[in-house]
């Protein structure tokens, strides 16, 4: 599902307010480069919070998308932000990517 970027935010409010350290990491730089060349493949894993969506997995993709000016994000809404729920969703996407 796609949602407008203004309806998505990070669970880690400190990171959202000051992402400069995160943006220096090699992983972030790779994600930024990848998203600048290829559309978003894996959705951000989120939980619904009112009319907004809190990112529980996908911080780098979210920050890179914001930097690149994404107007929308692909998301998957999880029923909760418990670790087993997030891990299960992450495994689904790892398997999809490995099969390509």
Per-residue pLDDT of the chain (100 residues; tens, 9 = 90+): 999 999 999 999 999 999 999 999 999 999 999 999 988 778 999 999 999 999 999 999 999 999 999 999 999 999 998 988 999 988 887 655 544 4
Domain boundaries, position 33: 2-98
CATH code of 35's domain: 3.90.1530.30
The CA–CA distances, whole Å, from 39 to 16, 22, 42, 75 equal 22, 21, 9, 13
Report pTM.
0.86
């Amino acid at each position: 599902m796609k949602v407008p970027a203004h309806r998505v935010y990070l669970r880690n409010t400190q990171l959202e307010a000051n992402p400069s350290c995160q943006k220096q990491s090699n992983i972030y730089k790779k994600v930024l480069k990848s998203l600048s060349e290829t559309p978003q493949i894996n959705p951000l894993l989120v939980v619904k919070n009112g009319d907004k969506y809190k990112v529980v997995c996908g911080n780098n993709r979210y920050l890179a998308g914001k930097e690149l000016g994404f107007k929308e994000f692909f998301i998957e809404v999880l029923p909760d932000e418990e670790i087993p729920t997030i891990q299960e969703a992450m495994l689904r996407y790892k398997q999809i990517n490995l099969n390509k």
